[in-house]
Structure 1
Amino acid sequence: MGIPMSIDVRGAPGPRAAGAAVEAALAVLRSADERFSPFRAESEVRRYARPGASASVDLAEILAIGERARAASGGAFSVWAPDGSLDTNGVVKGWAAQRAADVLSAHGVTSFCLNAGGDVVTRGEPEPGRPWRTGVRDPWDPRRMLAVVEQRDGAVATSGTYERGAHVWDGRTGERSLALVAATVVAGDLTTADVLATCVLVLGPQSLGWAVEQGARQAFAVLPDGRIVTAAGPDPTQADAA
């Protein structure tokens, strides 16, 4: 996917089981890249655009997630790029990383942190009595954290323009000039967190409460002037300012 990924395993039936679990999880991520990358000429996403093509079960699921997000966001979220091509990247990274996390759990791994380019899924505890801590970086200074999210079972996703430029577009207008520099969402799973973070980035700071209604435990956004705005649900995850 062109992003750094890591898996930190702390609780597993044994070293051999942990290694097998990690390999199985990485295989899920590699497969998602091969199948759904818009940059691979023979990927399912590219083939789907051809006349008479049909969607696999997985691609149909990804498209359904995108459609639900489109409807919920009033069209702001879209898997169709301004040029009319299909681009499912707004769904696939979180969806694939969550699937990889589920594979780790299925292999008996009880405590881990999976980091997919800054989007994180955690389970259990890195050590007894302590939650996992996920840093949310300052858009203008990668050495500084704006906040640290503490949780055991959950996910954190950030969507922003500070590393990849204006790669996110408003599905309603096709415009790439957005009101926020970054948006972070904490949720129970990474598919939800990733999609909602993209929605908030497009919709702007007024959508934080909406994100909570859509399943976010907590959401916060960074405005161009550096201000941070937040919203939290009835069972928020702890996030401390750095």
Structure 2
Amino acid sequence: MHRVEHVMSFPVSLRVDDEDVPESAGDAVFAWLREVDARFSPFRPDSEVSRYDRGELESHELSDDLVEVLDLCEHYRIATGGAFDAWLPGRRLDPCAVVKGWSVQRAAELLKAAGARRFVLNAGGDVVAAGGPWRVGIRHPEHADKLCTVLELTDGAVATSARYERGDHIIDGRTGLPATGLLSLTVVAATLTEADSVATAAFAMGVKGIEWAASLPGCEVFAVDAGGHVLRTEGFAVAGKTAAVA
């Protein structure tokens, strides 16, 4: 199975190498991601997130899924001393940094439940994979046609936060200013929920976020600071050719 669709404002590609996995499993993946976009996008006025932000829903009226997402946002706000914050002053509630990885990881669990053992799900450059080894290229933060490195991923996830696609869009909640200490930061973790959230949270912290992310159990880090210096943890598994680009 090989499918590509545009969901949540970015391309999502799915490759499943198991012959016995039905097409309906792919249908379920993309249906779930479309549902997430409808329910949790802060850019849709009728979404649950927007309605809660406007005060139209009380906390006890929220879905279990949104409660889980908001709990994750609060966890990383506390863990980063406020650098990561879905509730920035003067802005609407925006849990997208958590929602993306959380929802794509849930989609991966749908694939596993359908019997998929070897697959890659790439959501706008953030990847969750099973049954590897897979080779994932990490894009150079200053040259779109080049790679910084290539990692080997067997069962797990990788996510990158950077400035090259959307500019200085990640805000340091402690200052209210864009986080500019890093050019890119990549995290490998057991789940995309963790990899994506940690990558964004660490990026918001600046250079100190590298050490913080590296200290988390099961996380490996590859970062490029504003001066172009590369820093990576020893366990970051470098490989050869690429299968996807993060």
Structure 2: 5+ residue runs without aligned partners? 1-7, 242-246
CA separation in 2, counterparts of 1:92 and 1:105?
Answer: 20
Q: How does 1:46-125 map to 2 (within 5 A)?
A: 46-54=50-58, 55-125=62-132
Q: What's the RMSD between the two structures over aligned residues?
A: 1.6
Whether contact under 8 Å (1:146, 1:241) holds in the other structure is no
1:181 equivalenced with 2:183 (yes/no): yes
1:7 equivalenced with 2:14 (yes/no): yes
CA separation in 1, counterparts of 2:43 and 2:190?
Answer: 30
CA separation in 2, counterparts of 1:89 and 1:36?
Answer: 8
- Give the match for residue 39 of structure 2: 35
Q: Equivalent pairs: percent with the same residue? A: 45
* SS state at 2:51 partner: helix
Structure 1: 5+ residue runs without aligned partners? 126-130
Question: What is the CA deviation profile of residues 115-161 of structure 1, one whole-angstrom value per residue up to 9, with x for unaligned ones?
Answer: 00000000003xxxxx1011110011121111111021010000011
CA separation in 1, counterparts of 2:24 and 2:240?
Answer: 37
* SS state at 1:164 partner: coil
How many pairs align? 231
* SS state at 1:229 partner: strand
Length-normalised TM-score, structure 1: 0.90
CA separation in 2, counterparts of 1:118 and 1:198?
Answer: 14
CA separation in 2, counterparts of 1:190 and 1:38?
Answer: 21
- Give the match for residue 128 of structure 1: none
Q: How does 1:92-241 map to 2 (within 5 A)?
A: 92-125=99-132, 131-232=133-234, 236-240=235-239
Amino acid at match of 1:145: L
Return closer, same or farther for 1:241/1:203 CA change in 2, 3 Å cut-off: farther
CA separation in 2, counterparts of 1:4 and 1:82?
Answer: 30
* SS state at 1:142 partner: coil
* SS state at 2:233 partner: strand
Length-normalised TM-score, structure 2: 0.89
